[in-house]
Structure 1
Amino acid sequence: MRHFLSVAAVSMSLVCGLGAAQAQLPAMPSTKSLSGLTGGLPDMSKLSAGNAAGVLGYCVKNKVLGGGDASSVLSKLTGKPGVTSSADYKTGEAGQLGTGKSALSLDSLTGSLKTKACDMVLKDAKSLI
């Protein structure tokens, strides 16, 4: 919503003759970020294998994600040496999505935002296998 309003304001300034040089379009959230929706979800591309595995475990345990895909990825990640013994894994199991600099409790998200966050972790976790 914030991006939409910013784009609308920029468009209005162009229509009013302020010129393109003064207008700057805001950066749109990357496909690996929900910051535009949640106000600060950590960058998924910086998740450790341990945190991704822990968060996937949290998502499966709390029935946010289900099915064979999530369980298969979780099993492969937790089978990697050192993943389940890492502090990041334990943090993830507690529902804390973090990258070292920032963290977000999945318990603070509701409905579709929590599902979207878990889906994004699953997608990124596949690249960590």
Structure 2
Amino acid sequence: MTIAYWIAAGLLALFYLYAGTLKALRTRDRLRPMMAWVDRLPMPVVRAIGVVEVLGALGLVLPPLTGVAPWLALVAAAGFVLLQAAAIPVHLTGGDRRIALNVVLVLLAGLTAWLAA
């Protein structure tokens, strides 16, 4: 189970560290080609999502690695399930029907949460 957790958590952490950093630092114009939904949300919300994603990525890795509050990994993984569950309607209501990545991320975050429990 430990190896499976680190594989799943590592993949999620890498994805969210990258995506969150982009959302936190890039302008709307530079995000638009990758994330069509950024036009429908205020930039402070997009930035906040990015910060949450970076913190969640750290929460998946650092607590189990250090042994300090390892329960935070479960919270981070569950948070990513909720984040992606909320992202799916945003994509669908905006006419962007590409939700396959969101579904994969929900499943991977759910698996990670189960492995962290």
TM-score (norm 2): 0.33
Which structure features the higher share of strand residues? Answer: 1
Which structure features the higher share of helix residues? Answer: 2
User: Does 1 or 2 have the higher relative contact order (CA < 8 Å, sep 6+)?
Assistant: 2
Query: Which structure has the greater CA radius of gyration?
Result: 1
TM-score (norm 1): 0.31
